[in-house]
A and B are shown apart, each in its own frame.
Chain A
Amino acid sequence: MFAYIVRRLLYAVPILIGVNLLTFILFFIVNTPEDMARAHLGDKYVTEEAVQNWIADKGYDGPMFFNNEAPGVEKLTDTVFYDKSVKLFAFDFGQSDDGRDISSDIVDRMGPSLALAIPSFLIGVWVNICVALMVLMFRGSRLDKTTVAVFVGLMSISYLFYIIVGQYFIAKVSKLVPVSGFNDGLDGWRFLILPVVISVLAGIGSGARLYRTLFIEVSGQDFSRTARAKGVSETGVLFHHILPNAMLPILTGIVVVIPMLFMGSLVMESFFSIPGLGSYMLDSIRAQDFSIVRAMVFLGSVLYITGLILTDISYTWADPRVRLS
C-alpha cells in the first residue's frame, strides 16, 4: 500500500506540471503582464515607466518559457514559468498582484470556508442517507413514486433560485438570521445556519435520489433477500445489511469531494459574504489577479489528486477484498 501511494504521488507530479503549464499559457494569452500592470495601477496619471516598474517588480519581465540567451539547462530554468512554478511546488505562493501574501490570505480564509463547507457536507450526506433510507422503506408504493418525482423536481430548480429565495424569505422578510456576513468564533453559527440549510435543501433532490438507487441496487442482491427470507425485519435488513453494503459506493462518491471542501463554495460564499476561499477565487477571477488564480488552481489540483488517492485507500478500508498494488 505504501508503495502504491508513493507511486500515485509520483504520478501526480507530471499532472501538476501540466496543470501549471496550462494555466500559465491560458492566463498569459488572456492577460499580458502589461494588462495586469495597467489594471492594478489605476486610472489617473499612469506613466509608461510606472508600468514597466510594476512588471519588473512582479518578476514578469523575463522570457516566458524559453530563454535563448541563457546557457545549457538555464534555457529552461531561467524563465518566468520555471521561476513561478518551482515556488508553487514548495507551496510558496508569493504575493498577489496587489501586494498581499497569498499563503497567509489562504490560511486566513480557510477557516470560514470550512466552517461553511463541513457542516453543509456532513449534514447534507446524513440527511440524504436518512431520506433515501426512508423512501426505501416504502419502495414500490405510490409514496415512493411521489417522493422520487419530488426529488426530480427539487433537482430541476436552479441553485441560484434556492439562494435568492431563501435569503429573501428567511433573512429579509422574517429577520430570523443576519442577512449576510460572518463573525469568528461561536458567534459564527448565526451566519452559517441559513447557507447550510439552503445547501442541504438544494442537495436533497440529487443526493437522496442517488442514494436511493444505490440502496435499491444493494437490496436487490442475494444477501438482502436471504436476510428477509430469514425473517429479519425490514428495518433490520435496512441497517444491518443494506446500509453497510451500500457504504462502498457512497464512500467513493464522497471521499473524492472531501479535500475539495477546502476550496469552499464559490456562489454560496459570495452571496452570503462569507470571507472564504470560494469568494477569494471569485474575486480574483473578476479582478484578473493571475497570481491568486494560479495558486488556487494549483491548490485545487493538489486537493483533487489527494481526493483520488484517498478514494482508493477508502476502498480497501470499506471492502477488505480490494487490495491496492
Chain B
Amino acid sequence: MRIKPIRTLAATITATLLLTGCSGPWNDPNPPADPEVQTYFGSFTTRPKHLDPVRSYSAEEGLFLDQIYEPPLQYHFLKRPYELEPATATSLPEVTLLNDQLEPAAEGEEVAFSRVTIHLKPGTQYQPHPAFAQNSEGKPLYLFDSASESTQYTLLSDFPQTASRTLTADDFIYQIKRMGDPINKSPLIGLMSDYIVGMRDFSKMVKEARDGDKWLDLREFEMEGLEKVDNLTFNIRIKGTYPQFKYWLAMRFFAPIPWEADRFYHNPGFKDKNLTLDWNPIGTGPFMMTTNSPNREIILEKNPNYRKDVYPSEGSAGDEERGYLADAGKQLPFIDKAIFRHEKAATSMWSKFTQGYYDRSGDGDSNINTATFDQAFTVGPDGLELTPELESRNIIVDEEIRPSIFYTGFNMRDPVVGGYTEDKRKLRQAISIVYNDQEYIDIFRNGIGQLAHGPIPPGLYGYKGGKEGMNTYIFDWDETTKSPKRKSVEYAAKLLAEAGYPNGRNAKTGEPLILYMDTTASDASPRSDWIKKQLAKINIQLEFRVTDYPRFKEKMRAGNTQMFGWGWLADYPDPENFLFLLDSRQGLVKCQCDGSNSTNYDNPEFDNLYDQVKTLPNGPERLAAIEQMVEIVQRDSPWIWGFNRKDYYLANNWVKNTKRHGISQGTLKYVRLDQEARAHQQVAWNSPNVLPLFGATGLLLAIVLPGISFYRRRQKLTIKAEE
C-alpha cells in the first residue's frame, strides 16, 4: 500500500519537529551562537557592491566600511548639531591660507591655496592581515610570481600567517594617490581634482605608467599637493579656500590604505578569486571583516589591535536620561562580533525583528515603512507612540534626521514648465500648491518626514522653521494653529489662469495642459495614481513616462524631462552641500557632465551668492546670503519642495547605546548588548503554534481514510461479483 509512507512521513516530520523543538525556538534563523562571545545580529538589504573605501559611496556599503576604516576625523557620536572630532588624528586639521607664492597669505591678500595639516596619533595599529606577514628575512611572505603558486588560497582566511603594522602618514598619502588613479574609479576623482593640487597631472602620469593588471607602486609617483612632513604629519594643499574640505576628511575616501595591502591584492591570480581590496577591507578601525559572503552574511569581528578609544562622556540634552552616557570612559568596542545577514524582503526582516532575532529593526535603513508602520506605531494626540505590543517589550526608539531632501523637480529648460518669466513662475507655484506633499507623507510615509519649505533641511546652518522659514508662495501662516497652511486650490487655479491656462486649458487654443513626469519602472501604481490626482485638482492632466534607471539618467543629462522625482542625501552637514544643487555650473545640461543640479536651474544672482556662501565662515554675513538665496529659489520654484526625511529606528531592549547618527554610520563600536536577556526573550516570544500541524495531519487523514474504506469496500464488491 502506498498510503502508509505518507503517514509515516507526516509522523516523522512531526516527531523531528517536536524533538528539535526542545533545543530552542523552532523558527530561529540564526546559527547557534557561543554565549561567551558578544554577538550582534543585524541585517542588510542591498548587497554591497564595492568595499574599497576610495570607491564606495553608498550607505549600504558604509554600514560595513565605516566600522573598518578610520579617516583622520569622525563625527561625535552624541552631540547635535553634528560636530567633527579627531579619530586617527590628534586634532582637527590646521588650515594655513597661502598666496600664489606658497607663502602664508597676509591679511587682505588674495588666497591662492590652502594648506591642510594633519597630525596623527602615534601607535595606531592595523588589523592583523596576511599582507603584513613577513618571513624570517623580513621579506613579505605572500608575494607570488604566478597564479599557480597561490592556488591553495581562495579566501583571506586561508592564509595562515598574519601580522600588523603601525599607521603612518604615508598610508593616507597612498590613499589620496589611489583616489587620483583612474583605475580605482573613485567617484570623487572629478571633484577632488578641482581642489587638490596636482591630482589631475597625477592621474595622467599614472594612467600612462600602468601596465595591465600588475601592481603599480604609487609611492614612486609624486602628487604636487601632498607632502609628508614626518611619520605622523602630512599636508594636503588645495586650490583657493574650501572650508568644507574638513568634512571630506571624515569620510572613508580619506581613510588610510597601507601600500603592502595594495601590493598583496595585486598578486597574480588574486583578482579571479575575488581577493581584491574591493572585497576584503583592511583598516585600523574597531572591527575587521572576517566573512564576506554578500549573498548570505557578512561578519565583522573585533579588531584585536584597535587603538585606545573610549566612549564619549559628553552628549547633547536628554542623552543622560536615555542612558546614552552610562558607558562613558569605557574602552570601545563592546561587542566581539557582528553578524549581518542578507535580507531581501522588508517584511521578513521585520518579522525576524519582532521575533527577537534581529537586534534592530534595520541597520542600513530603518525598515519602518508603510507595511510595518502600523505594527510599530500608533499616532496619538501627542505624536507617535509605540503600539501597546511593542511598548510592553520596552522597545527603544531612536530618531534619525538625515540631512536630506526629496523633491519633485521641474526641468527649467522645458518650454512648458521651465523659464523665468512671471507666468511660468505662477504655473510652477500653482502646481506646488496643489501637490500636497503633507498628504504624501501621511499616506506613503505614515506621517514620518517633515515638509520642506526650501532647499535647506533642518539641523543645518541657515535652516529656519516656523513662520520665519515658511514658503510664502505656497503657504499662509495660520495664527490659530501656529502653523503654515497650504494655500487653497482656488488660489492655485487662479494662479494657473494667470499663467495662461484657465481651468487647465490653454487660453488661446483651448488645448488641455498635459504634463509629463518621468519615473523609473520600479514606481508602483498607488503613488503615480496619487500624483495624478494632485494635478487633477486644477485640471492639469499628467502622463507618466516610465523608464529604467540608466535611461532615466540619460534623459536627465540631455534635459529631456519635464517633471521628475529626485532626492539628495547630504555628504556633510553644511548648507553649501544643498545650495550647490541649484548652482547653474552644476547644471546637467549646461556643464555636460554629471552635475548635481538636476533642474538646470540657472540664475546668475543665485550663483553669485553661492560663491560667497561657499567660502564664508558661518556668521551673519553668510546667514544673510543664505536667506537671500532661499528667497530667490522659493520665488522661482524650480522644485516642488517636498520633504525632509526622518526615520525611526527601533531596537530591542537588550541593545544599549543605539543613538543614530544622521551622517556617519560608524556607530557599531558604541553598541552594547545584554545577551542573557536576549536569549530569554527569544524563547518567550516564539512558542510555536502546532495547531496547523495537527490540522494538516487531520486533513490528510480525512482525505485518505475514506479512500481506504472505499477501496476495501470495492475489493469486497469484486469478490462478491465473482462468486
A and B interact: yes
Q: Which residues of A contact B (CB under 8 A)?
A: 31, 35-36, 38-50, 53-54, 57, 95, 98-101, 104-105, 108-109, 127, 130, 133-134, 137-138, 141, 143, 169-183, 187, 190-191, 193, 233-235, 270-271, 273, 275, 279-280, 288
Q: Quick one: which of A99, A171, A190 contacts B278, CB cutoff 8 A?
A: A99
A–B Cβ pairs within 8 angstroms, 14 of them: A43-B57, A45-B190, A49-B182, A50-B189, A57-B183, A99-B276, A100-B279, A130-B3, A143-B710, A176-B693, A179-B355, A187-B31, A187-B32, A273-B345
Looking at the complex, which of B111-119, B170-178, B546-554, B639-647 is the stretch in contact with chain A? B546-554
The answer to whether B185 touches A41 (Cβ under 8 A) is yes
A180 and B29 contact, Cβ closer than 8 Å, known pairs A38-B553, A47-B189, A174-B688: yes
Please, which residues of chain B bring their CB within 8 A of the CB of A171? 27, 351
Apart from the given pairs A48-B593, A175-B26, A180-B29, 14 other A-B contacts in the complex at a CB distance below 8 Å: A38-B550, A41-B185, A44-B571, A46-B190, A53-B182, A108-B293, A109-B295, A137-B714, A174-B688, A175-B686, A175-B687, A181-B352, A273-B342, A275-B342
A54 to B185, CA, bound (A): 8
Check B2 for interface membership: any CB of A closer than 8 A. Answer: yes
Instruction: Evaluate contact between A175 and B25: CB separation under 8 angstroms.
Output: yes
- Which residues of B lie under 8 Å from residue A49 when comparing CB positions? 182, 190
The contact string, 1 if C-beta is below 8 Å from chain A, for chain B 580-599, is: 00000000000001101000
Q: Which residues of chain B have C-beta atoms less than 8 A from A54's C-beta?
A: 185
CB contacts (< 8 Å) of A108 on chain B: these are 293, 295
A115 to chain B, nearest CB (A): 13
Could you say which residues of chain A place their CB within 8 Å of the CB of B689? 173-176
**CB-CB contacts below 8 Å: B254-276 with A:** 271-274, 276
* Given A45-B191, A138-B707, A235-B1: A101 and B272 interface contact (C-beta under 8 Å): yes
Most buried by B among A42, A109, A141, A169: A42
- Mask of B474-518 contacts with A, CB within 8 angstroms, 1/0: 000000000000000000000000000000000000000000000
Bound together, the chains give a CA A134 to CA B154 distance in angstroms of 52
Determine the residue in chain A with the shortest Cβ distance to B43: A181
For the complex, give the distance between the alpha carbons of A57 and B213 in Å: 10
When A35-B550, A39-B550, A47-B190 are in contact, do A133 and B2 touch as well, CB less than 8 Å?
Answer: yes
Bound together, the chains give a CA A99 to CA B296 distance in angstroms of 18
In the complex, are the beta carbons of A98 and B50 less than 8 A apart?
Answer: yes
Q: How many residues of B contact A (CB 8 A)?
A: 74
Tally inter-chain residue pairs, CB-CB below 8 A.
171
B188 sits at the interface (CB 8 A): yes
Is the C-beta of B314 less than 8 angstroms from some C-beta in chain A? Answer: no
Known: A50-B182, A50-B190, A134-B707. A180 touches B345 (CB 8 A): yes
- The verdict on A182 contacting B272 (CB below 8 Å), with A45-B594, A173-B689, A270-B344 known, is no
Interface string of B13-50 (1 = CB under 8 A from A): 10001001000011111011000000000000000011
- Which residues of B522-575 are within 8 A (CB) of A? 548-551, 553-554, 571
Q: In the complex the two chains form, is A143's CB within 8 Å of B190's CB?
A: no
A170 pairs with B58, CB closer than 8 A: no
- Shortest A139–chain B CB gap in Å is 10
B-chain residues with CB within 8 Å of residue A42 when the two chains form the complex: 57-58, 187
- A45-B188 contact in complex given A104-B273, A234-B715, C-beta closer than 8 Å: yes
Using CB atoms, name the residue of chain A closest to B551: A35
Contact of B26 among A41, A127, A182, A190 (CB under 8 A): A190
**Which residues on the A side are within 8 Å of B596 (C-beta)?**
44-45
Asked if B351 contacts A176 (CB within 8 A), the reply is: no
Residues of A within 8 A of B25 (CB): 175
Contact A181/B710 with A45-B188, A45-B190 known, Cβ cut-off 8 Å: no
Which of A40, A50, A109, A279 gathers the greatest number of chain B CB atoms within 10 Å?
Answer: A50
Q: Which residues of B contact A275 (CB under 8 A)?
A: 295-296, 342
Given A39-B550, A175-B689, A179-B352, A47 contacting B594 (CB threshold 8 A): yes
Answer yes or no: B602 CB below 8 A from chain A CBs: no
Report how far A286 CA is from B470 CA in the complex, Å.
Answer: 41
Chain B residue at minimal CB-CB distance from A193: B13
Would you give the shortest CB distance from A61 to chain B, in whole angstroms?
15
A98 CA to B341 CA in the complex, in Å? 20
Are A50 and B185 CB-contacts (below 8 A) given A109-B295, A235-B1, A275-B296? yes
Is B229's beta carbon under 8 Å from chain A? no
Interface flag for B702 (CB, 8 Å): no
Write out the residue numbers on chain B whose beta carbons fall within 8 Å of the beta carbon of A233. 715
Which residues of B are found within 8 Å of A141, using beta-carbon distances?
710, 714
- Name the CB-closest residue of B to A49: B182
Complex contact A130–B692 (CB within 8 A): no
Tell me the bound Cα distance from A105 to B714 in angstroms: 57
CA distance A20 to B624 in the complex (A): 63
Q: Is B6 an interface residue when CB atoms closer than 8 A count as contact?
A: yes
- The answer on a CB contact under 8 Å between B348 and A176 is no
Docked Cα-Cα span, A141 to B713, in Å, equals 12
**B160 interface residue per 8 A CB criterion:** no
A189 to chain B, nearest CB (A): 9
The reply to whether A176 and B278 contact each other, CB–CB distance below 8 Å, is no
Min C-beta distance of A6 to chain B, whole Å: 32
A193 to B278, alpha carbons, bound, how many Å? 36
Considering residues A36, A109, A177, which has the most beta carbons from chain B within 10 angstroms of its beta carbon? A177
Which residues of chain A are near B5, meaning CB under 8 Å? 130
Distance to closest chain B CB from A295 (angstroms): 15
Is A179 touching B29 in the complex (CB atoms < 8 A)? yes
CB pair B50–A271 under 8 Å, yes or no, is no
CA distance A172 to B372 in the complex (A): 14
Distance, CA A46 to CA B57, complexed state (A) = 11
Q: How far is the CA of A171 from the CA of B596 in the complex (A)?
A: 45
Contact B27 A143 (CB under 8 A): no
- Find the B residue at minimum CB distance from A243: B2
Given A53-B182, A187-B31; A177-B187 close (CB under 8 Å): no
Which residues from chain A contact B32 at a C-beta distance below 8 Å?
187
Chain B residues 669-715 with CB under 8 Å of chain A are 686-693, 704, 706-707, 710-711, 714-715
Residues of A near B185 (CB, < 8 A) are: 41, 50, 53-54, 57
| A273-B348 contact in complex given A143-B706, A177-B27, C-beta closer than 8 Å | yes
Smallest CB separation, B565 vs chain A (Å): 14
Chain A residues in 8 Å Cβ range of B359: none
B693 with A46: CB separation less than 8 A:
no
Across-interface contacts of A170 in B (CB, < 8 A): 692
For B344, the chain A residues whose CB sits under 8 A away are 270, 273, 279
B70 is an interface residue with CB less than 8 A from chain A: no
Q: Do residues A130 and B2 form an inter-chain contact, with CB atoms below 8 A?
A: yes
Query: CB of B343 within 8 A of chain A?
Result: yes
Chain A nearest Cβ from B119, distance in angstroms = 29
Contacts of A273 in B (CB 8 A): 342-345, 348
The interface residues of chain B lying within 8 Å CB-to-CB of A50 are 182, 185, 187, 189-190
State the CA gap A127–B3 with chains docked (Å). 10
In the complex, what residues of A have CB within 8 A of residue B20's CB? Answer: 190
A127 partner residues in chain B, CB cutoff 8 A: 6
Closest to B692 in A: A174
Complex alpha-carbon distance, A271 and B17, angstroms: 23
- State the CA gap A42–B5 with chains docked (Å): 55
**CB <8 Å contact, B187 and A53:** no
Q: Are A177 and B26 in contact (CB under 8 A)?
A: yes
- How distant is A175 from chain B, measured CB to nearest CB, in Å? 5
Which residues of the partner chain A approach B352 to less than 8 Å between Cβ atoms? Answer: 178-179, 181
A134 to B20: give the CA distance in the assembly, Å.
33
Cα(A172)–Cα(B276), bound, Å:
40
Please give me the residue from chain A that is nearest to B341 by CB atom: A181
Which residues on A sit within 8 Å (CB–CB) of B187? 41-42, 44-46, 50
| Docked CA distance A203–B306 (Å) | 55
Chain A residues closer than 8 Å to B715, beta-carbon distance: 233-234
A residues in contact with B688, CB < 8 Å: 174-176
* Interchain residue pairs A-B with the least CB separation, the first 8: A178-B29, A275-B295, A35-B550, A47-B190, A46-B594, A180-B348, A174-B689, A181-B29
In the bound complex, residues from chain A placing their C-beta under 8 Å from that of B154 are 104
Q: Which residues from A are CB-within-8-Å of B276?
A: 99
